[in-house]
Structure 1
């Protein structure tokens, strides 16, 4: 049984100017007022215009809220991801940031910046003067670009990316491009299904977003949950679902969710340098789960991909209530419990509501597969060590 006491507070002021105006959409991204990190649109970016994301000039030196919300400092006392390779199937990974220097195989250009952001969530190395450390900072990242320069991908692209990840020896495959489960490309779902089966046979665990944004809302994402696949939904700093309602398919069926993890007001690195960005969405939540899977497989290399998935689900904080279960699956990721094999003893656990939590940004107008990038500004102030930290108290029965 565990008791998580929220003695921490987060204050976020957010202003998102959605739209598809003229220009690159990145004009205000390089440096935000007040020393706050610039925003990447949630759920990945499809650029609306020319040019690539410029580097951020802002580095936050305070420890980010996700560290204590997930008990990551304690988790890293058991394992750090050494010996595990996590493939990031998405827009590519730029390793210009010192936090990713030497950690990435296949590094290259990342025009939208989202693949780099996800890689940082998984495996950023801690740096002096930076409050950011990845979930599994000793893990290796395998960059598998599958999107076009605008950040768009389809089911066939994902299938190819999963195959390349498996061929590259990935132990964990993070699907970092949110693609609707209907495929959107004339029947490539069968190819993706075959790639997923091949990954399971190769003992690689796939971690994927549960939903993909489209015009008018969100729909179930590909690949869906199944053998060797964990579908992940996002939560906010208060532990509540980031989505107000389930993503549904054309017949009104909700997107299946296995697990939930932080996916709102998350900080990580981006392309071009050491500066920080803020983003969110189900792919970001999936990155936290992929990092936790890397910790688990690092601590116990004998665990299969299926056993790793089962452990992560079984030790999650149970989602309170039936409605929350639809949005959060088995509950919220608990890396320490997974590493110590101490599953939740009773329902209703989880992160208590913070004194201040960010409001979700207004819904963006989306394209066929990913969110259309806006010329946006998201001002975030994380109250770090000056406030109290989330303290994990656990008593375990042998």
Structure 2
């Protein structure tokens, strides 16, 4: 069995990078940069079918959706991006965004959505979304504008291709035999199927690929097929945008101490404990962190030296996968209601901005677009950090600003000590005008006094003699 098929055989459950995610645990160890890409590990995009027989257990009901968010009010995430002004330059026309996720349900506000295939259930076409996650993602990217509705996607004239690659409602066939009747499904989705989905998206003509799911672990040699697929995408002039991951699921919980406070200028990769894929392949992908409505990093974002940019990822509004309206959350399999929050939902905002840029600058290569998105972000004080990368994405700047040929490296700008030039002493004041004025005033005052005194009559006192008596 060659190396390609050994990697493809790795079956690792992938986690959705959202508040209702899933995942399987891994030990913690020192991580390192991903290895050099081996193009021979790139899988085929065909057939779009699960490599294993899968099942959806009888107790695995589709997620209930929490509706809301309709009406004329513009959601906070849209206001933060100032889309009303950005749309004067581009609405993403002509762009095709592949959503590799839990599927995308057909919705009237996703006109022209194309089924891209199903790596979860045999015979599917990618338009079943039992989890709801993929439809939320697609809506944030490309939901069309509707009169009277404040919510719309970042690139409302872009088109979606849906490729279902993971679901927490499915598992390998026969897994229920070793479970209690009320046990939840294992979930399904592997590194191998993700790599195949990336290749399939490229081959189907996507200009942007959104991946709002992650694998976390300490191993450094199990995702070579992902690296090869990402390299294929970039070399094919496709921009891939991937989530940084959430620390609320077990495999992503270890906190990466990327920046050593005792040595803030050290290599950020030297302090990584947990890998996040595909985000860690940062030579080929835009890795996205989440911020709150105040611009602060979200507490759930997994930090890493691969972070590129950030966008709002908390309390979002998107499309309802069970109807024709909008939604503000979902109910998980344990009955817990969760908002639409996570790096999963910051990622599609960035994918939407990429679609805007690609529509406005069709001559730009994928690498140039990636550089533009990073160079025009609202940078943190230190220039780059492990939670937001180069900063919060800025659509208007990305659509209008000039950008440098190169970006600074992904590490905080080190503090500098500079001796400021001591200013020269100021020249002595020139008081000539003041002195002339004072002297003139004195002369006039003296003249006035003398004139005043001269106006009085002179009295003489005469002496008395004896003749006067």
Q: TM-score, normalised by structure 2?
A: 0.58
Question: Do 2:110 and 2:142's aligned partners in 1 also have CA atoms closer than 8 Å?
Answer: yes
Task: Determine which of 283, 286, 290 is the counterpart of 1:227.
Answer: 283
Question: Do 1:94 and 1:108's aligned partners in 2 also have CA atoms closer than 8 Å?
Answer: yes
String of CA shifts for 1:293-329, please: whole Å, max 9, x gaps: 000000111111100000000000011347x722111
- CA drift of 1:211 comes to 2.3
Question: Do 2:90 and 2:360's aligned partners in 1 also have CA atoms closer than 8 Å?
Answer: yes
Could you say which structure has the greater relative contact order, defined with CA pairs below 8 angstroms and 6 or more residues apart? 1
Matched, 1:137 2:156: yes
**Equivalent position SS for 2:138:** helix
**Equivalent position SS for 1:178:** strand
Task: Determine which of 242, 266, 274 is the counterpart of 2:298.
Answer: 242
String of CA shifts for 1:244-271, please: whole Å, max 9, x gaps: 6x736xxxxx352111111111111131
Task: Determine which of 64, 75, 79 is the counterpart of 1:64.
Answer: 75
Matched, 1:53 2:63: yes
Name the structure where strand makes up a greater proportion of residues. 1
Task: Determine which of 85, 88, 93 is the counterpart of 1:77.
Answer: 88
Task: Determine which of 210, 235, 257 is the counterpart of 2:307.
Answer: 257
Rounded to whole Å, the distance in 2 between the matches of 1:303 and 1:118 is: 25
Is the alpha carbon distance of 1:200 and 1:231 closer, same or farther for their aligned partners in structure 2, counting shifts above 3 Å? same
Matched, 1:315 2:406: no
Matched, 1:180 2:231: no
Alignment of 1:119-198 (within 5 A): 119-150=138-169, 152-180=188-216, 188-198=222-232
**Match for residue 42 of structure 1?**
18
- CA drift of 1:201 comes to 1.4
**Match for residue 209 of structure 1?**
243
Rounded to whole Å, the distance in 2 between the matches of 1:102 and 1:311 is: 28
Rounded to whole Å, the distance in 1 between the matches of 2:282 and 2:369 is: 14
String of CA shifts for 1:160-212, please: whole Å, max 9, x gaps: 1101110111101101222226579xx64111111111111111111001125
Rounded to whole Å, the distance in 2 between the matches of 1:91 and 1:267 is: 18
**Equivalent position SS for 2:302:** coil
Rounded to whole Å, the distance in 2 between the matches of 1:55 and 1:259 is: 29
Is the alpha carbon distance of 1:300 and 1:194 closer, same or farther for their aligned partners in structure 2, counting shifts above 3 Å? same
Give aligned pairs, total: 295
Rounded to whole Å, the distance in 1 between the matches of 2:17 and 2:322 is: 18
Rounded to whole Å, the distance in 2 between the matches of 1:149 and 1:211 is: 16
> What's the RMSD between the two structures over aligned residues?
2.7
Unaligned runs of 5+ residues in structure 2 are 1-15, 24-56, 117-125, 170-186, 255-273, 330-339, 405-469
Is the alpha carbon distance of 1:325 and 1:298 closer, same or farther for their aligned partners in structure 2, counting shifts above 3 Å? same
- CA drift of 1:275 comes to 3.1
Question: Do 1:210 and 1:220's aligned partners in 2 also have CA atoms closer than 8 Å?
Answer: no
Rounded to whole Å, the distance in 2 between the matches of 1:176 and 1:266 is: 15
Is the alpha carbon distance of 1:123 and 1:159 closer, same or farther for their aligned partners in structure 2, counting shifts above 3 Å? same
Matched, 1:291 2:352: yes
Question: Do 2:378 and 2:390's aligned partners in 1 also have CA atoms closer than 8 Å?
Answer: yes
Of stretches 156-165 and 276-285 in structure 1, the one that deviates more from structure 2 is 276-285
String of CA shifts for 1:355-381, please: whole Å, max 9, x gaps: xxxxxxxxxxxxxxxxxxxxxxxxxxx
Rounded to whole Å, the distance in 1 between the matches of 2:74 and 2:165 is: 32
Specify the structure having the higher radius of gyration (Cα): 2
Is the alpha carbon distance of 1:171 and 1:111 closer, same or farther for their aligned partners in structure 2, counting shifts above 3 Å? same
- CA drift of 1:105 comes to 4.0
Question: Do 2:216 and 2:275's aligned partners in 1 also have CA atoms closer than 8 Å?
Answer: yes
Question: Do 1:154 and 1:183's aligned partners in 2 also have CA atoms closer than 8 Å?
Answer: no
- CA drift of 1:112 comes to 0.5
**Equivalent position SS for 2:213:** coil
Unaligned runs of 5+ residues in structure 1 are 1-39, 249-253, 345-398
Q: TM-score, normalised by structure 1?
A: 0.68
String of CA shifts for 1:39-70, please: whole Å, max 9, x gaps: x9935544996210235443421211112111
**Match for residue 131 of structure 2?**
112
- CA drift of 1:128 comes to 3.2
**Match for residue 272 of structure 1?**
322
String of CA shifts for 1:139-180, please: whole Å, max 9, x gaps: 010101101352643322210110111011110110122222
Rounded to whole Å, the distance in 2 between the matches of 1:119 and 1:182 is: 30
Rounded to whole Å, the distance in 2 between the matches of 1:298 and 1:280 is: 28
Is the alpha carbon distance of 1:302 and 1:232 closer, same or farther for their aligned partners in structure 2, counting shifts above 3 Å? same
Matched, 1:340 2:406: no
**Match for residue 51 of structure 2?**
none
